[in-house]
Structure 1
């Protein structure tokens, strides 16, 4: 019975980590800020990550979140941010997954999953979002980027809250996001093939 409980806890921690990592792919600081607020109001973190729930972390991450969200609504600066945000999203996704797994696993499993699943998920989502923004800039001269920015911010907020409150649902939402990423990639490739024929 302990085996089932321990593995169930690890699976929930994994779902939480994937949800937060995908959210970091949309906005780097928003899921960290959401987790910081959750920790302050009773969400359990292991001791080495307890600083995330401090007032200093809440204020710092809150300001960083507001600056990041605001900057993405400024045409051309949003594209500049995307160039540095892809690696930052990977780092944030890795950190969020490691934080989520915490004491639920050995360090090898914790950091292996953090780097591969957390960092990979965040980087994949951010790379796709950056491509969508570049396409928006190319087709609208940057005037349509606020729609992309609004969608990303909403997705980051929804995924962050869902991951903390309903980790299993967050995992399902991440699967839906990846399904649409795949469909978009397939659509673009088919369009390119037709154009070159």
Structure 2
């Protein structure tokens, strides 16, 4: 059961890093610092005062940065690889004492992959919002992402199994939408009609 709970916690926190890179990292850092959670071997640094301070500052800057036009799209460019790294770290740090190859493999594939899928979805949404509303709709999207990152992180810490299940549903939904979007683009290039549903 410990492995299931740890995996669900890591998965949920990794998913939240797809919305905001530093929110779940800060929450995990505080949880490790206060002893609420215990990191896997090699991740004690995540609970240090330095990590808490640095991640707190980065969290505030990231959240505020998404409310400024142009900066939000620039942040998407930076946070896409950063979310993959954060998701990997969060998943790996949450897993109990496993063989390092297995832990890091799960961290990269499951944690990094989940964060990457969600970040890709939010990046495409912001690009669509920028084109469709000349950026005026982007603050609404930023607020939704901030809310999902914070609420998802809290849910992950309090109810990891529920949060992990919700993440699986969200990832499957986003992956399906991305696949359909790619099919529509291919259909437009080839001149054939692809159904929207």
* TM-score range normalised by the length of the shorter chain: 0.7 to 0.9
Total equivalences in the alignment = 189
Aligned in 2, Cα 1:183/1:112: closer, same or farther, shift over 3 Å? closer
Q: How far does residue 50 in structure 1 lie from its aligned partner after superposition?
A: 1.8
Q: How far does residue 189 in structure 1 lie from its aligned partner after superposition?
A: 5.7
Structure 2 residue ranges without an equivalent (≥5): none
Q: C-alpha distance in 1, partners of 2:154/2:148?
A: 10
* TM-score, normalisation: structure 2: 0.88
Structure 1 residue ranges without an equivalent (≥5): 1-7
Question: Residue in 2 aligned with 1:131?
Answer: 124
Question: Residue in 2 aligned with 1:17?
Answer: 10
1:73 and 2:67 aligned: yes
**Counterparts of residues 34-183 of structure 1 (less than 5 Å):** 34-42=27-35, 43-103=37-97, 105-182=98-175
Q: C-alpha distance in 2, partners of 1:46/1:17?
A: 11
Aligned in 2, Cα 1:144/1:196: closer, same or farther, shift over 3 Å? farther
* TM-score, normalisation: structure 1: 0.88
Q: Is the Cα–Cα contact under 8 Å of residues 3 and 96 in structure 2 kept in the other structure?
A: no
Q: C-alpha distance in 2, partners of 1:171/1:131?
A: 23
Q: How far does residue 176 in structure 1 lie from its aligned partner after superposition?
A: 2.7
Q: C-alpha distance in 2, partners of 1:60/1:151?
A: 24
CA RMSD between the two structures: 1.9
Q: Alignment partner of 2:13: what SS? A: helix
Q: How far does residue 190 in structure 1 lie from its aligned partner after superposition?
A: 7.3
Q: Alignment partner of 2:69: what SS? A: coil
Aligned in 2, Cα 1:46/1:191: closer, same or farther, shift over 3 Å? closer
Greater helix fraction, Structure 1 or Structure 2: 1
Q: C-alpha distance in 2, partners of 1:188/1:35?
A: 34
Q: C-alpha distance in 2, partners of 1:108/1:51?
A: 20
Q: C-alpha distance in 2, partners of 1:102/1:87?
A: 25
Q: C-alpha distance in 2, partners of 1:182/1:115?
A: 18
Q: C-alpha distance in 1, partners of 2:173/2:102?
A: 29
